[in-house]
Amino acid sequence: MNVDKFFDDEFSEHDITVVATRDVLREPFKKLLAACVKSIQAGGKIVFFGNGGSASDAQHLATELTIRYKENRVPIAAIALTTDTSALTATGNDLGFDQLFARQVAAICKPEDIIIGISTSGNSENVIKGLQAAKALGCVAAGFGGKDGGPMRAIADPFLIVPSTTTSRIQEMHIIIGHMLCGALELKLGLV
């Protein structure tokens, strides 16, 4: 293995994905930002969820909003549905893993909320069902995805699909987009 070539190739693929993402996600990002601003101004909250690395992203972004992103400011209402181990294990055991997020959405969400499901493939059944539950409540059901968008394409709106088939590159773009959302919300809401 040539470590130098590997190192350079990873950065090159990242750079290509950054440019492609910037080229296609400007309008969906603006739509997502507007929906988040409307939600917060209406007394709603931003709800994130996903599996694996996407679960970590959900927790990361919810924390940036409730605690701080760049500046100390009042909290922005946000939560990740991936942190309550009792709810996660009880749902998986009693109702099935596919109901993991739908059950929590049905329990705690209201029409003023915006729900953001995160899936690199767009195929995660529990994320899809969580977004369907959000739509049934009248919430905005948004998403971060990748590849061809999978079945989430028919449900999530706005849906920010990273133009890549490489999971790690998609995840990198999700966190960049998520950080941009946090920063833009602080500015649009006049909190910094």
| pLDDT tens, residue by residue, 44-65 | 999 999 999 999 999 999 999 9
Question: How confident is the model over 102-150, as pLDDT tens digits?
Answer: 999 999 999 999 999 999 999 999 999 999 999 999 999 999 999 999 9
Q: Which pLDDT does position 14 carry in this prediction?
A: 97
Distance of alpha carbon 158 from the chain centroid = 11
Distances (CA, A) of 94 to 90, 100, 134: 6, 10, 21
Question: In the prediction, which pLDDT does 192 show?
Answer: 83
Per-residue DSSP letters for 26-62? HHHHHHHHHHHHHHHHTT--EEEEESTHHHHHHHHHH
Query: Which pLDDT belongs to residue 71?
Result: 87
Nearest to 66 by CA among 51, 88, 83: 83
Query: How far apart are the C-alpha atoms of 51 and 7, rounded to whole Å?
Result: 28
* Sign of the CA dihedral with 158 first, then 70, 23, and 56 last: negative
State the pairing for strand pair 114-118/159-162. Answer: unpaired
DSSP letter for 122, please: S
Tokens of 103: 């059950």
In 73-166, alpha helices (H): 85-94, 100-108, 125-137
Q: What is the CATH number of the domain that holds 32?
A: 3.40.50.10490
Q: Supply the pTM of this predicted model.
A: 0.96
DSSP 82: T
User: Phi/psi zone of residue 43: left (φ > 0), alpha (ψ -120 to 50 degrees), beta?
Assistant: left
pLDDT in tens, 159-190: 999 999 999 999 999 999 999 999 999 999 99
Tell me which residue range forms the domain holding 27: 3-188
**pLDDT class of 15 with cuts at 50, 70, 90:** very high
Dihedral sign (CA 18, 19, 21, 22): positive
> Is there a contact between 131 and 117 (Cβ–Cβ < 8 Å)?
yes
Q: How many domains does the chain fold into? A: 1
